[in-house]
Amino acid sequence: MRGKNRMAVLCLGILISFINYLYAQEAKEVTCTGKVVNVQGEPISDAKVKLYKVTISMETLSYDVELLKELTTKDDGTFTIETKVEGDELSGQSMVLVEKEGLAIGWANWRLRENLNDVEIKLEQAKLLTGTVVDDTDKPIADAEVGIAFMFVRTGEQPRYLIGGLSLEPLMAKTNAEGKFTFDRIPGDATLEFVVKKSGRATVNTFDPENFRGESLQFSPGQTGIKIIQPMEAKIEGMVVEKETGKPIAGIRIMAAQSQNRPNFGLEPVVSREDGTFSINALPTGRHILQPVPKRDGLADWVAEPVEVITEPGKTASDVKVELSKGGLLEVVVTEAESKQAVEKANVTIQHQASDRPFGALSDKEGIARIRLAPGEYQMIGIYKQGYSRQMPQEPVTIEDGKTARIEYQLIGQPKITGIARDEKDKPLEGVKLMICPMGGQEASSDIDGKFEVNWDPRSWSRGEIPVMFLVARYEEGNLAAAVEIYEDTKTIDIKLKTGVTFTGKVVDSDGKGIANARAVVMLRSERWGSTIGRDMDKIDAEGKFEVKAIPAEHEYRINASGEGYGQDSIEVNANEAVDNRLDVGVLTLPLANLSVSGVVVDIDDKPVAGAKVYCYGENQPHRTTQTDAEGKFTLDKICAGQIQINANKSGQTRLYAYIRTEGGATDVKIVVSERGSSTRSAPAQPPSLVGKSLPELKDLKIDLSPADSDDKMILVCFFDMNQRPSRYCISQLAKQAEQLKQKGVTIVAVQSSKVDENTLNEWIKETNIAFPVGVIQGDVEKTHFAWGVRSLPWLILTDKEHIVRAEGFNLLELDKILESE
């Protein structure tokens, strides 16, 4: 349940492109340059370009949108925005919004701490989006303010988010006498959520964090039957008092959330009056949690236990009391692992174990983060600062009244890869774009001397064993490229770019006619992943043709194509097949999405399920999302002919879920949802940690150490698989360090973790010059891994001289630091 309860924070973070709002630098000028075009790629002049800053409050889980600059595009469709940012603004998010009469709005997301160059914003034909606002008796509500709270568009592989609410004019409307609202400037492939306000009624935000999966939102243009229910407002009236004396306290900001971490989006906190009283209006019906708004900076003056209030429409819950106390203090000391120096502005997060309520603070110049907390049991859940690997400790902490708990943590600097990008004549290249695949993230660029710096964290790979990774360098101006394999300990590398491959192709409809507004994205392929290798690689001309330069040779790729009003197609190619450094990948044909699928969602008693999320996918099919109306009915528009899978789910006290396979064009689909047991969503059992325990018997792994190699010696065990590249690399590095480690009193042993031919293993051991014992798992591999706490390969375990495990699951770069602490 803990991850589910944090979904509101996570989703808000996703919608602002993972803003780390705590990161700050000195003031500087940043620039955005771009071009506005139509679907044929032709420039649009005199388009309005507006820069909006998005300010996020993680204390209230809310946002604010502010217009910073406004200008118009030149005759060639270009624009330049320069702005000065400082402090927390440097880590913020902004939106470059473009408007042109008769066309849909377009936009780009811009992280303000870096320049955004040569962005292309494409304006397409506008689509209509209509719906109605009704009360709980289905009567229309006139003069309600309707805003688009969030809007999402996936352009190729890169999603774009727009945050509006009732702050952006193109995203605001009012209902007429029939309760109808209309938006007429929406991109056809957008999905979105609404916020609705009216005096005397509850403020409604349709965004449901528990159902958001980062793919799409609930509503889209052309969708029929959109109905938003806005009941009468509920109110809460109460008083803020000091717990010990009962004395009223003024000036305390109080927020009401639907749960500990799910805010009432659109509602601002209220402030207690001189007599300590407060009133909260426009609340929806149901459960609310009242709590003081935590301070963003510095130590809070007061803490309070959350107060639960149940509201009813048109009624006021009164005599609510929020009791404040001084509680206890938590001090978290954060230092840098290598230098032992204090780390300032590290973001520390702790969570109440009973309620899953998170609290956060920044470390000061001494590296100390101080948090005032109510007495109880807590758990550390995260420590982070940009440039350092994220720490996810799970240490329990007990807070007592009037006492201070103190704990210490070390942050490990995030690895950097530096080097120089050169051409084949060893000339440094300026403007080479570099990206680590499959880690993704922001592109880096080489400077005038060809120098570059790329941040990455290979240990953050969350899908088991760290795969083969590449540093991809592309210089489109000279059609030069390279993809260099990198390792966990790669720190410096000089890249020599060679003539790249140019991919050409065409995206057409089923009649062979080019699709001008289509997209084609090139993805580097590996055995376990696919990754885009650059930004803005999806430009297609009026005839549906595309050309992508600077593709690294000697690799396999997938080209994915999609388009508004069409399905999808993809093709896999090998750059080695290029002739004279050019490869025509052929024609990608997109099926026409001119059908719909409609039906009804019911429960096991055949009763309609209103408000269920319905989404679909399938081979060559577009991804579509909608929501059932009050009668459980739904329609998915813009579907292709052929098989399609439709999923339906409804969250609440119980989760209802089902899926069905059907064909595009079906009109009588019936989906019967039922309760989904928690066991279907539970994570597989993790092996227990060995830290603090005696090392299991090595003899069971066919390793028999002599007393000279084991008595009064630390033992380093490496579980590996000779058939996996990361394992082979780890073992080869250990072989090189074996003598040095022996001098430090460390005995190395290795364990082959999969079944292999014994002669093959022995031959590989000989070729790799492995001088330490190598055992082989006997019997069931999974059971052995579980008993030894192995979660991925390679897996390192280090004991002290008494053979008590002191560390596990670390990488070789951390070994020296661990040994120093022993």
Please list the rounded mean pLDDT of every run of 10 residues in the chain (822 residues): 38 38 51 90 93 75 81 96 68 84 92 81 90 94 94 69 80 95 90 92 84 70 85 96 95 82 72 96 90 81 91 94 95 91 91 76 92 91 81 85 93 87 94 84 84 81 71 93 89 94 93 85 85 69 88 92 87 92 93 90 90 85 83 88 88 80 87 62 55 89 90 93 82 91 94 86 90 89 84 89 91 83 72
User: What does the DSSP 8-state code read for residue 667?
Assistant: S
CATH number of the domain encompassing residue 360: 2.60.40.10
Does residue 689 lie within any of the structural domains?
no
pLDDT for 90: 38
Strand order, beta sheet including 624-627:
624-627, 613-617, 643-650, 656-663, 674-675
CB distance 765 to 732 below 8 Å:
no
Residues near 74 by Cβ (< 8 Å), separated by ≥ 6? Answer: 45
Residues near 626 by Cβ (< 8 Å), separated by ≥ 6? Answer: 218, 219, 220, 223, 613, 614, 615, 634, 635, 636
Residues near 714 by Cβ (< 8 Å), separated by ≥ 6? Answer: 744, 745, 746, 747, 798, 799, 800, 801, 819, 822
- Residue 526's CB: how many other CB atoms inside 10 A? 15
Q: Are residues 392 and 334 in the same domain?
A: yes
pLDDT for 61: 61
Q: Give the count of alpha carbons within 13 A of 90, CB side only.
A: 13
Domain boundary among 122, 153, 177: 122
CA distance 514 to 587: 10
pLDDT for 700: 82
Q: How far is CA 723 from CA 399, 737, 760, 793, 812, in A?
A: 49, 22, 11, 11, 19
pLDDT for 677: 31
User: Residue 500 pairs with which residues in a beta bridge?
Assistant: none
CB distance 255 to 60 below 8 Å:
yes
Does residue 569 lie within any of the structural domains?
yes
Q: Are residues 550 and 424 in the same domain?
A: yes
User: What does the DSSP 8-state code read for residue 244?
Assistant: T
Q: Nearest to residue 96, comparing CAs of 153, 157, 161?
A: 161
Q: Are residues 608 and 578 in the same domain?
A: no
Does residue 739 lie within any of the structural domains?
yes
User: Residue 816 pairs with which residues in a beta bridge?
Assistant: none
Q: How far is CA 26 from CA 13, 20, 29, 577, in A?
A: 24, 16, 10, 49
Cβ burial, residue 164 (10 Å; 0-12/13-18/19+): buried
CA distance 116 to 30: 8
Domain boundary among 229, 258, 274: 229
CATH number of the domain encompassing residue 788: 3.40.30.10
Domain boundary among 198, 229, 260: 229
Q: Are residues 555 and 438 in the same domain?
A: yes
Does residue 420 lie within any of the structural domains?
yes
Does residue 688 lie within any of the structural domains?
no
- In Å, the largest CA–CA distance within the chain is 91
User: What does the DSSP 8-state code read for residue 700?
Assistant: G
User: Residue 197 pairs with which residues in a beta bridge?
Assistant: 145
CATH number of the domain encompassing residue 483: 2.60.40.1120
Q: Are residues 286 and 162 in the same domain?
A: no
Identity at 268, one-letter amino acid code: E
User: Residue 663 pairs with which residues in a beta bridge?
Assistant: 643
Residues near 783 by Cβ (< 8 Å), separated by ≥ 6? Answer: none
pLDDT for 263: 62
pLDDT for 7: 37
Q: How many domains does the chain have?
A: 7
Torsion angle, alpha carbons of 80, 81, 86, 89, to 10: -120
Q: Are residues 240 and 115 in the same domain?
A: no
Q: Nearest to residue 138, comparing CAs of 72, 211, 228?
A: 228
Q: Are residues 165 and 284 in the same domain?
A: no
Does residue 660 lie within any of the structural domains?
yes
User: What does the DSSP 8-state code read for residue 729?
Assistant: H
pLDDT for 296: 67
CA distance 18 to 92: 10
Task: Supply the range of the domain harboring residue 804.
Answer: 698-821
Q: Are residues 448 and 570 in the same domain?
A: yes
pLDDT for 70: 94
Does residue 314 lie within any of the structural domains?
yes
Strand order, beta sheet including 376-384:
358-362, 347-352, 376-384, 396-399
Q: Are residues 194 and 286 in the same domain?
A: no
Residue owning tokens 């992943």: 529
Q: Are residues 425 and 404 in the same domain?
A: no
In the three-class reduction of DSSP (H, G, I as helix; E, B as strand; rest coil), residue 3 is classed as helix
Q: Nearest to residue 201, comparing CAs of 132, 258, 136?
A: 136
Q: Nearest to residue 660, comparing CAs of 748, 598, 710?
A: 598
Identity at 601, one-letter amino acid code: V
Does residue 691 lie within any of the structural domains?
no
Backbone angles phi, psi at 762, to 5 degrees: -65, -40
Q: Are residues 359 and 472 in the same domain?
A: no
Question: What tokens appear for 760 in the block?
Answer: 């093959």
DSSP H or E stretch at residue 771? none
Backbone angles phi, psi at 51, to 5 degrees: -105, 120
Question: What tokens appear for 178 in the block?
Answer: 């029939």
CA distance 215 to 208: 13
Q: Are residues 752 and 650 in the same domain?
A: no
